[in-house]
Chain A
Amino acid sequence: MTLAAATNANLAEISNYLIYSSMAVYTLAFFAHIAEWTLGSRSKVARTAAALTAPDRQSPADAPKIQVQGGGTAVLEKPKVVTRSASGSRDVPDGPGAHGGTESGDLYGRIAVSLTALAFLIEAAGVTSRALSVQRAPWGNMYEFSTTFSTVVVGVYLALLLAKKNVRWAGLPLVTTVLLDLGIAVTWLYTESDQLVPALDSYWLWIHVSTAIFCGAVFYLGAVGTVLYLFRDSYEAKLARGGKPGRFATSVLERLPAAASLDKFSYRVNAAVFPLWTFTIIAGAIWAGDAWGRYWGWDAKEVWSFITWVAYAAYLHARATAGWKGRKAAYLALIAFACWLFNYYGVNMFVNSLHSYAGVE
């Protein structure tokens, strides 16, 4: 018994070291990203302005971008598919990425991604050893919730990269916020490893909490995309009006994907995870039914889950409503994510709730 306790204490300590180490590596990744952005900016690519002001842009169908799909260029006889963006949206190519098409920038970018992957592995090991030390899933308090959360965010990002999705633009914002999240976790939220009170000891809880963390991580990615969309969209709008954005804005925004691509990315990410979020709330209700004898009691945490859910539903509706697409829908998406954040930090800390198991006083 005491031996087991000692190993557990040991594991908890190892977990702490791993979390601190991952923070160190994330910091390195952060600097590599900065290097990528600074070195990459030397290249001059004004593709957006060119695409928006080119004389033939009134009739993009006449000069279509040619995308070769399926067959590939090698086989000449196979038909080529021409795509054309829906009318009403700007026909703008995606930016080249943070490296701006430069080799040194790209090198630093690759280093940044590799460091992020390394930090992710270390952090994941930290979370796992914490789980082993408490002999349960590591989501019993806000410290554990935060470390798991950032691990999952980075994991999803790396998985998207592995799937060859164009998401490298998210690297710098992600690493920055992950560092922030971990900093808050180790300074203010830290809780000694321990077991759970009986009310939290249910497998429904584990289903509920794990899916909640996952949804939050994906919603967060969506929110990052949305914010960048808003910047890039006003940049493109300004160019289209013939305006001249500042040098810094040009340098940064020029390298991001087109507003339409960012918008699509956020929509897909939010829409894909919305059913899971619905499931999360239902799983929570089932657990509440078992633990407290009522499925839904308008407890603060339940209220805010509901608000978040309705806000995302409103966002999805907005996308299908004429006059609400684009920026207005994007604001709704950000409001919805703010609700999620408040549910996570705000309710645990400021509102008296049955769910206040934060472990912080």
Chain B
Amino acid sequence: MSKTEERDLGDAGAQLSTAPTENPADQAIGGPTLSVVGWVRWFWRQLTSMRVALILLFMLSLGAIPGSLVPQNSVDELKVQAFKKQHDLLTPVYEKLQFFDVYSSVWFSAIYILLFVSLIGCIVPRSWQFVGQLRSRPPGAPKRLTRLPAYTTWRTETDPEQVREAALAILKKRRFRADAAGDAVAAEKGYLREAGNLVFHVSLIVMLVAFATGTLFKSEGGKLIVEGDGFSNTLIQYDDFKSGSLFDTDELVPFSFSLDSFTGTYAKDGPQRGTPRTYEAAVTWSMGDGPARKSVIEVNKPLEVDGTKVYLLSHGYAPVVTVRDGKGKVVSSGAVPLLPIDSNVTSTGAIKVMDGYRDKSGKKDQLGFQAFFVPTFAGAGHGDMFSQFPGLEYPVLALTGYHGSLGVDAGLPQNVYQLDTRKMEQFKDADGEILKQRLRPGETMKLPDGAGSITFENEVKEWASFQISQQPGNGWALAGAIAAITGLIGSLFIQRRRVWVRAVRGADGVTVVEMAGLGRAESAKLPEELAELAVTLNAQAPTAPEPVEVPAEGAEK
């Protein structure tokens, strides 16, 4: 509603919403005459104005854009590294602008913090104002009801008092807050719109606080488990672990689980051959010393234990190999998890024999093998070691071996899937060529000069990797989200509107009834509603026969 109209209507149109009104005086910068307090006040009024809220909202969406176009550290650090390598010129600029961490950058945080300060500064006075409106009476009828967006009038023989009483009763029955004042009845309905709007904005704050707590207190770690192995939820058991700055390790829920089996099925034919269909990890878990229970974790169905969730992230193969020394003594045996490098689960990894191995002459040595594994080999003579299908149909393990120092004692943390061959020597065959061999299950690769052997046993286990995460505040975030939607529905679908009924005795002694309605500019139903009310009231105050002359101006008092 426009300013002129509001003035036109006096109080009647005021406060149909609690939105802060734009005061032209606020927009002019006061200049040097303003004191510090004056400046602060001016700044605060600016910040909590609708205009600035709008601009901040716009900036928030604009500010979110770079994060979707530039790789983000929080999403994929490897991609960020790759990007930096490719763009020598852009990188320093982007780093300055914090474009690799947009959502935790200073400028993005500034936008949303300002927005939420503005929001709080807006919500608090609006709530008071709203409570005030709830406690006061609907504003009295404006002088000229004809000026209102919907208007109707008729003449009746019924007494003005009776008409007003009837109007009051009808409006109250329709759940208007109605009140007779002077020669008119004033009524208002649809307060839930304002309530809904306030609930919505408060819920936004609840959600933000919930996210913030979640980020500060969360913990999240990864663990790779081979079929048959287990995990218990303590810090040292994680392969990698991240936590919020206020997280305390005592908060880790004491539970453990083991991976009984992993099952993956894939499309066997059709254009999407090889596309995964199901991934299922069957686990046995228990809480503390509690009883063991069985569950199946799927991609979309995490296991939830006392607020901690265990998600299935990825899977791969772990061929079972046995390494023997020159005398045939087993020095290492077990499933070796290998990491997939493509969607058909072509995998690579390392097999390391740290101790227990002695070479031909009885000297202590270490062995390392680089392993390449394909679950479905294309067939002999068919080129590369790349898998044709992610299922285990024709597994082949390709190996090449080293001996020397694995470098594990150097004190540096070492990637278990990579072989550091700097201090190792590659085995050569009798012709001096590099020793490498493709093994089918059950086959053995002999190391030269009686150095021993490595056997690909008749077994390939699967492994699955899990993300174990705990994030308090999720409940609050969800509650906030539900409240926000509920509030929004109230705010957008309910119309707040006012109806006035005036009944006065005209100069000729006949009562003139005038009804008018006022709503927000967007209300289409208002005339219809007014008509319905008028029809109902008209039944109790029937129209009088047409007068000889036009009603006197007094009727419009």
| A188 part of interface (Cβ distance < 8 Å) | no
Assess whether B267 is in contact with A324, with CB atoms less than 8 Å apart.
no
Cα distance, A32 to B154, chains bound together (Å): 48
Q: Which residues of B contact A88 (CB under 8 A)?
A: 2, 4-5
- A317/B311 in contact, CB under 8 A: no
CA distance A194 to B266 in the complex (A): 12
* Inter-chain contact B542/A77, CB cutoff 8 Å: yes
In the complex, A127 has a CB within 8 A of chain B: no
Question: Which one of B125-133, B271-279, B442-450 is at the A interface?
Answer: B271-279
Q: Is A46 an interface residue (CB 8 A)?
A: no
A87, B2: Cβ atoms closer than 8 Å = yes
Q: Does B75 contact A (CB under 8 A)?
A: yes
Question: A197 on the interface (CB 8 Å rule)?
Answer: yes
| Contact of A282 with B485 at beta-carbon distance under 8 Å, contacts A78-B538, A307-B65, A310-B57 already known | yes
Contact of B68 with A351 in the complex, beta carbons under 8 Å = yes
Say yes or no: is A79 at the interface (Cβ < 8 Å to chain B).
yes
What is the 8 Å Cβ interface bit string for chain A, positions 297-325, against chain B (1 contact, 0 not)? Answer: 11110011011101101101110111110
Cβ of A69 < 8 Å from any Cβ of B? yes
Contacts of A299 in B (CB 8 A): 75
Residue of B54, B467, B528 touching A314 (CB-CB under 8 A)? B54
Q: Evaluate contact between A307 and B271: CB separation under 8 angstroms.
A: no
Task: Flag if A198 contacts B279 (CB, 8 Å).
Answer: yes
The answer to whether A303 and B67 have CB atoms under 8 Å apart is yes
Residue of A nearest to B151 (CB): A82
Q: Does A272 contact B (CB under 8 A)?
A: yes
Smallest CB separation, B66 vs chain A (Å): 10
Q: Which of A67, A195, A293 contacts B277 (CB 8 A)?
A: A195
Q: Does A20 contact B (CB under 8 A)?
A: no
- A192, B467: Cβ atoms under 8 Å? no
Asked whether, in the complex, the Cβ of B469 is within 8 Å of the Cβ of A314, the reply is no
From B530, which residue of chain A is reached at the shortest CB distance?
Answer: A81
How many A residues face the partner with a CB closer than 8 A?
73
Chain B: residues with Cβ within 8 Å of the partner, total of 84
Min distance, Cβ B313 to any Cβ of chain A, angstroms: 7
| Chain B residues within an 8 Å CB radius of A83 | 149-151, 527
- Interchain nearest-CB distance for B39 vs A (Å): 23
Q: Which residues of the partner chain B approach A39 to less than 8 Å between Cβ atoms?
A: none
Are A347 and B68 in contact (CB-based, < 8 A)?
Answer: yes
Distance A85 CA – B313 CA, assembled complex (angstroms):
59
Interface residues in A286-304 by Cβ distance below 8 A to B read 286-287, 289-300, 303-304
User: Is the beta-carbon distance between A297 and B302 smaller than 8 angstroms?
Assistant: no
**Which residues of B lie under 8 Å from residue A298 when comparing CB positions?**
67-68, 72, 74-75, 102-103
State A307–B61 Cα separation when bound (angstroms): 5
Q: Give the nearest-CB partner of A283 in chain B.
A: B481
* Interchain CB contact (< 8 A) of A322 among B17, B22, B515, B532: B22
Residues of B within 8 A of A347 (CB): 68
**A/B interface sample: 24 pairs, CB < 8 A:** A61-B147, A69-B531, A77-B542, A79-B538, A84-B149, A88-B5, A194-B275, A201-B300, A268-B524, A275-B485, A275-B492, A292-B311, A293-B220, A298-B75, A300-B68, A307-B65, A311-B61, A314-B57, A314-B61, A316-B492, A320-B19, A321-B54, A347-B68, A351-B68
**Extra 7 A-B pairs, beta carbons < 8 Å, given A303-B67, A317-B54:** A79-B534, A79-B538, A83-B151, A275-B489, A303-B64, A316-B492, A323-B51
Residues of A within 8 A of B (CB): 61, 67, 69-71, 77-88, 192, 194-195, 197-199, 201-202, 204, 264, 267-268, 271-272, 274-275, 278-279, 282, 285-287, 289-300, 303-304, 306-308, 310-311, 313-314, 316-318, 320-324, 332, 339, 347, 351-352
